[in-house]
Amino acid sequence: MTSAARDRYARIGLALCAFYFMPTNYGIATWCYCISGLLDAFDGHAARILNQSTKFGAMLDQLTDRCGTLGLLMVLSTFYPRFLFLFQLSTVVDVAGHWIHVQA
């Protein structure tokens, strides 16, 4: 397994950990989510520098980004139900915008 792939899978694990702790432990959730975001910035760059980029890795990166954002917005919508419409709108814009970007 390449170093970029290890970073990507660590990022997925951290995102899942953040989702688990979001409703109960904001500190752990915040750290896991932030470290996952930092790995996001690092893994794609490392894959390109080390000539380890793949189509699957690029797709997994996009999917992980969307799932991370959606998981955060779902939790926020339970904490702040009066902003549910804005969270839904943000979700639609995020998913549709990235789908259009990939298809263009």
Q: Just list the catalytic residues.
A: 65
d(CA 40, CA 67): 13
Judge whether 26 and 79 are in contact, CB under 8 Å. Answer: no
Cα radius of gyration rounded to whole Å, the chain: 15
- Whole-angstrom Cα distance, residue 104 to residue 99? 9
